[in-house]
Amino acid sequence: MNINLNKIERIKNYLVFKYSGICGIGSIGNSDVVKILENSKKEIESEKGIQGIIYDFNDLRYEFGNKFSELLSFDKQNKKLFVRIIPNKSDLNNWKSLQVNCSQNRNIELFQTNIKNAINSINSEMNNSNKEITLKEYNLFCKYGSELLWVSDKLRFKRPKDTNKETDEMFILLEKLDQYLEIISLGTYNSELIEQYKNEIVLLKGKVSKEVFEIIRGKYKTPHNTV
């Protein structure tokens, strides 16, 4: 190993790890990644209320090695921790290439120039986290909402002329579903939100009468058993 952990600092709810040295190339660097992850997990276990990790790699050189993609995201007991990396300026393109080729967090600004910017970036992501849904939650959402989502796509949220109170309630929820599809496209993380929608969909399916679905069936040949 040619890397050293020089400093660990807690700033509010974030842990900052400062490293120096030269990372191993390719599989040789795997032990470096393991060391960094072990240090991170050990420190997080001993600290309460940690929401994010900042790796200060200003004095650490990185060339390539896919194993380092494990540093770009961090989960603790199924809870996402926000991650930011402050790379050596000479290695920024190497890190960006790693993000593009090996990470699902391609739309997140993982790389920052200093600790202040890293904290601001995490705060910004946290403020939007209540609009984000995990893949697991998305699958749960689809399990309960597939029929309604199919209908919403076909109707394009244009209400038919022959609506009544019950169909109006249905279309109100469909309009909400459209907003959530937008949220899903952002690609991220909040279980309370999906639970709220799951319950709304279940209630709606029990509430909307068979006649309402017959109206829809008459307009569109739905492939789903909606009742």
Q: What's the pLDDT tens digit per position in 155-164?
A: 444 444 444 5
Mean per-residue pLDDT for 14-28?
Answer: 87
pLDDT at 119 over 60: yes
pLDDT in tens, 76-102: 655 678 899 999 999 999 998 888 877
Phi first, then psi: give them for residue 64, nearest 5 degrees: -165, 160
Of 20-29, 70-79, 162-171, 202-211, the range with the lowest mean pLDDT is 202-211
The whole-number pLDDT of residue 129 equals: 56
pTM comes to 0.57
CB 5 within 8 A of CB 43: no
- Residue 225 predicted with pLDDT over 50: no
- How many whole angstroms separate alpha carbon 112 and alpha carbon 95? 11
Query: Higher-confidence residue: 130 or 109?
Result: 109
* pLDDT above 90 (res 124): no
pLDDT at 109: 83
Does residue 153 carry a pLDDT above 50?
Answer: no
- Hey, what domains does the chain have and what are their CATH numbers? 3-127 (3.30.750.24), 131-219 (no CATH)
Sole residue written with tokens 């997080």: 44
* Residue 128 vs residue 185, higher pLDDT: 128
Over the chain, what HEC string results? CCEEEEEEEEECCEEEEEEEEECCCHHHHHHHHHHHHHHHHHHHHHCCCCCEEEEEEEEEECCCCHHHHHHCCEEECCEEEEEEEEECHHHHHHHHHHHHHHCCCCCCCCECCCHHHHHHHHHHHHHCHHHCCCHHHHHHHHHHHHHHHHHHHHHCCCCCCCCCHHHHHHHHHHHHHHHHHHHHHHCCCCHHHHHHHHHHHHHHHHHCCHHHHHHHHHHCCCCCCCC
Top pLDDT among 50 and 195 is at 50
> Is pLDDT at 19 greater than 80 in this prediction?
yes
